[in-house]
């Protein structure tokens, strides 16, 4: 029986996760059999245990087939010690599960094309996937410090460092994903000014030659990639890039699609030797939105689409994922909108629960 650990977290996390639980319930009533366990992460875990994620919760996360996370943080915990701040729970999950591949789809639903910062024709039908290396590079490389030079100057040092195996494994994820999409990968780095970019380029090229010759590979300098993402984003299928460039490029791509309430993500680890299943954490891109928490205004779609990613990437249930994504698309096409999706033309927003119910009704219609 597939096992899901739900960590709803803080703020709107539990509100949007409540709708995901309804969706899981629907799938369980229609042929699937997810076993769901729930636990605490973030500020609520700090309140209960004095830690942003407890060892017992970590153990459950390590055993689960997939972890679904809502959001963590909020003003209530602004003053707690740094090591136990809510975000530390998220970082520990990513680190201990060794989630090195971050998947950020940027998909534009036609009904929301006018929410993009770009013109409708540039984003209509957009469907790209950014694969970002998540555990290496300049955010983690040593030395990482601010040195006092003793002459009134200080020197800040961050170290960009990548080993061959780190590039090989993220490139492999990107090529594998491309095979079940439009079969194209664009690798982005800065080989013109960075040694890590030279190695990145060489290793991606080698992995392609050795194992993925059937996939179309192109290379682009990351700054040019940023320009192309806002000039002609539909030219891309899968983009693979390092931690730093991926952080920025995935946020740029996200805004092409409109609201923060619509963006899912997945973080994957290495395949398990026995089962072949990757450790995985699925979460919406947005935070805990304290400004709207408790008001039934949150859009649950980002969290619901994160569950669709879990169906696709952890449970080999691509058809169920397609069906859920189609239900979301239909509901949006019918004009059902949470407050964040109400444009200048106005309209009456639905609540978080009403959006979840509308998606479930649509799932039922498609059955
Ligand atoms: P946020 O993403 O929580 O909110 C930014 C804006 O978007 C707010 O106006 C919010 O109301 C709106 N918004 C976000 N999600 C929405 C949704 N589903 N439906 C409708 N509107 C939505 O970012 P923030 O305000 O910078 O951060 C708030 C807290 O969340 C902070 O404590 C921050 O550290 C934390 N945070 C957590 C995560 C995470 O858990 N992965 C990510 C980002 C921020």
Show which residues are catalytic.
139, 190, 223, 247, 251
Give the ligand 1 atom nearest the CA of 78: 32
Residue 277: what pLDDT?
A: 87
Residue 15 CA to ligand 1 center (angstroms) comes to 13
Q: Is the dihedral of CA 71, 72, 76, 78 positive or negative?
A: negative
Residue 174: what pLDDT?
A: 98
Give the ligand 1 atom nearest the CA of 300: 18
Q: Does 308 sit in the ligand 1 pocket, CB within 6 Å?
A: no
Residue 70 CA to ligand 1 center (angstroms) comes to 11
366 pLDDT band, cuts 50/70/90, is low
| Model confidence pLDDT, tens digit, residues 290-318 | 999 999 999 999 999 999 999 999 999 99
Q: Is 31 part of a structural domain of the chain?
A: yes
Contacts of 299 (CB under 8 A, 6+ apart): 16, 259, 261, 262, 338, 339, 340, 341, 352, 355
- 258: pLDDT strictly greater than 80: no
Instruction: Report how far residue 238's alpha carbon sits from residue 171's, in angstroms, rounded to the nearest whole number.
Output: 11
Share of the chain above pLDDT 90, in %: 90
Domain total for the chain? 1
CATH number of the domain at 37, please.
3.40.718.10
User: Could you list the residue range(s) of the whole structural domain that residue 27 is in?
Assistant: 1-103+263-367
Tokens of 133: 């290396």
Which residue among 93, 287, 349 is best mutated to probe the pocket of ligand 1, counting the most ligand atoms within 8 A of its Cβ? Answer: 287
Lowest mean pLDDT among 158-167, 225-234, 341-350, 354-363: 341-350
| Model confidence pLDDT, tens digit, residues 85-100 | 999 999 999 999 999 9
Extract the runs of DSSP E, i.e. beta strands, from the chain: 3-9, 35-39, 66-71, 101-107, 127-133, 141-148, 154-159, 184-189, 216-221, 238-241, 264-271, 278-284
Residue 306: what pLDDT?
A: 98
Q: Is 251 part of a structural domain of the chain?
A: no
Q: Is 197 part of a structural domain of the chain?
A: no
183, 236 Cβ separation under 8 angstroms:
no
Q: Is 291 part of a structural domain of the chain?
A: yes
Q: Is 6 part of a structural domain of the chain?
A: yes
Residue 113 CA to ligand 1 center (angstroms) comes to 22
What mean pLDDT comes out for the span 215-233?
97
| Model confidence pLDDT, tens digit, residues 174-191 | 999 999 999 999 999 999
Q: Is 185 part of a structural domain of the chain?
A: no
Q: Is 236 part of a structural domain of the chain?
A: no
Q: Is 217 part of a structural domain of the chain?
A: no
Lowest mean pLDDT among 19-33, 42-56, 213-227, 253-267: 253-267
Residue 36: what pLDDT?
A: 98
Give the ligand 1 atom nearest the CA of 302: 18
Residue 367: what pLDDT?
A: 55
Spatial CA neighbour of 135 closest among 153, 161, 109: 161
- 9: pLDDT strictly greater than 80: yes
Whole-structure pTM value? 0.94
What's the number of CA atoms in the CB half-sphere (13 Å) around residue 299? 26
Q: Does 207 sit in the ligand 1 pocket, CB within 6 Å?
A: no
Q: Does 289 sit in the ligand 1 pocket, CB within 6 Å?
A: yes
What mean pLDDT comes out for the span 253-275?
90
């Amino acid at each position: 029986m597939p096992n899901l650990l739900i960590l709803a977290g803080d703020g709107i996390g539990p509100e949007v996760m409540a709708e995901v639980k309804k969706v899981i319930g629907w799938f369980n009533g229609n042929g699937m059999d997810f076993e769901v366990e729930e636990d605490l992460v973030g500020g609520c875990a700090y309140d209960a245990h004095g830690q942003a994620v407890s060892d017992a919760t970590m153990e459950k996360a390590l055993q689960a087939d997939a972890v679904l996370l809502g959001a963590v943080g909020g003003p209530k915990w602004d003053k707690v010690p740094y090591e136990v701040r809510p975000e530390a729970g998220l970082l520990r999950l990513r680190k201990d599960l060794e989630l090195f591949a971050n998947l950020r789809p940027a998909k534009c639903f036609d009904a929301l094309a006018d929410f993009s910062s770009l013109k409708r024709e540039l984003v209509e039908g957009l469907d790209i996937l950014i694969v970002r290396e998540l555990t290496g590079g300049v955010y983690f490389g040593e030395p990482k410090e601010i040195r006092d030079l003793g002459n009134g100057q200080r020197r800040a040092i961050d170290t960009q460092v990548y080993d061959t195996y780190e590039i090989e494994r993220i490139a492999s994820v990107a090529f594998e994903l491309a095979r079940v999409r439009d079969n194209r990968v664009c690798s982005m780095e800065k080989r013109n000014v960075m040694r890590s970019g030279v190695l990145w380029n060489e290793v991606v090229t080698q992995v392609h030659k050795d194992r993925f010759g059937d996939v179309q590979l192109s290379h682009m300098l990351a700054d040019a990639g940023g320009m192309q993402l806002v000039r002609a984003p539909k030219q891309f299928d899968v983009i693979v890039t390092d931690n730093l460039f991926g952080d920025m490029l995935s946020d740029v791509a996200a805004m092409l699609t409109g609201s923060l309430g619509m963006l899912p993500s997945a973080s994957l680890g290495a395949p398990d030797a026995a089962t072949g299943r990757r450790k995985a954490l699925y979460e919406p891109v947005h935070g805990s939105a304290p400004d709207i928490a408790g008001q039934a205004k949150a859009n649950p779609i980002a969290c619901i689409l994160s569950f669709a990613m879990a169906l696709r990437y952890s449970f080999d249930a691509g058809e169920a994922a397609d069906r859920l994504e189609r239900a979301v698309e239909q509901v949006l096409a019918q004009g059902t909108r949470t407050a964040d999706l109400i444009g200048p033309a106005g309209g009456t927003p639905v609540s978080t629960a009403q959006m979840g119910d509308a998606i479930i009704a649509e799932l039922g219609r498609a059955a």
